[in-house]
Each structure stands twice: as C-alpha cells, then as structure tokens.
Structure 1
Amino acid sequence: MKKLLIISLLSFSSFSHAGTNFDGYCKKLNGSVKNGKISSLTVVTNSYNNGEKPVLAANIKFVPKTGGSYHYGIMYNATTLYDIAKVSFLTQADIAVCVGVENAFPGNDALYMIGLSKH
C-alpha cells in the first residue's frame, strides 16, 4: 500500500509539473496552444506492410473557444494522445492542444501535444 501511494504521488507530481509547463513546452516545439473541446472522435483501423500489421488510429474534430473547427489525426503509436482525446470527448472536458506546422502532413499542421485544460 505504501509503495502504491508513493508511486501515485510521484505520478501526480510529474503530471502537475507537465501541466503547468504545457505552454512553454509547446513554444519550444514551435507550436501554438489552442483551448477548446473535441466534438467528434473517430477510431480508424488501418494497416501497413501490405496488411501484415494492423494499426489503430483516431481522427478528432477539435473546436477551439475562438471559433472554427479543425480535424487532426492521431498516429497509431501515440496511445497517450488517444487516451486523453477519448476521455476528453466522453466527458466533454476542455482541453488544450499544441499544434504546429509540418509540411509533410496534409493541411501542413500537426497535433504535437494534447492535455486537459484548466481554463
């Protein structure tokens, strides 16, 4: 029980520190922070290596508080982004996203980070 409490406290401390530094870390990634809600979450099954390796990816529709809407894809190996997006969509909690410009992606923007918002 004592070990579980210590691990929980360390996890909470780490999560709290990451949350307070979200904006600063986003700027280091040359991204910009937007606050809002996920209005749509679509889970997509896909595959690569000629169908040998199935993958799970997600597509979200993000509606910022400033208006408009954006669609972002979550890659199959970004499970933490997917988990936070799923919780946010199901609870309709406000989230903060860090987005940046990536010329290799359609639309030239990429979802760098996602986090539950305090706003």
Structure 2
Amino acid sequence: MAAAFLTHLAGDRVDVRSAGSEPADTLNPAVIEVMAEKGIDLTGFIPKLLTPDAVHASDVVITMGCGDTCPVFPGKTYLDWPLDDPAGQSLNPVRAIRDEIEQRVRGLLAELLL
C-alpha cells in the first residue's frame, strides 16, 4: 500500500520499488478493495522478494518490521514504520492500516520534496 500511495501521489518525482522480506504469492484481496476505494487499482500486482540490489539502489528504505532479514547498507536512510499486518483482517481494520500508511507517505513526501 505504501508503494502504491507513493507512486499515486508523487508520480514521476520519485522512483518507487516495493518488495517484502517474506512476500505472499498474491496481494491480499482486502488490500486491493480498500485501495480501490482511494482510486488506486492494485489488480494484477504481484508481491516481490526484497533483494540486496533493490536496497542498494535506493536512497530511502521504508521497512515494516522486517528486522534482521532486511539488508542494510551504509549511507541509506532507513525508516521503520511499525504497522499492523492486514493479512487475515476484515475491511475496517485494513482501512485503518491504509489510512495510517497514506498519512505516513504524505509526510515522507513533504520531507523529500521540500
């Protein structure tokens, strides 16, 4: 959701990569539904594995609780956003997670695009 919001809000001003330390095979249907409510279509997106190359190519790395499994490189900015996992949750909790992510992404963009 964070990558989708960042892409949606920043357009071509920010190069966005999205990956996880233990990605699911498919996107959570509740996530697809609540993001569609915001006008963001995630159908067809496939979760990707986080690789050291992706982290190395990034300036800012946002983690969501991956702990020691995330590669760390000197000179990168790391932000950890402790958020609930939407897996197995109904729509209302997933909406709350979505809204918190949107708020954090908007704050990040305000800092990056000063």
**Which structure has the highest helix share of the two?**
2
TM (norm. structure 1) is 0.25
- Highest CA radius of gyration, 1 or 2? 1
Q: Which has the higher contact order (CA 8 A, sep 6+)?
A: 2
TM (norm. structure 2) is 0.26
**Which structure has the highest strand share of the two?**
1
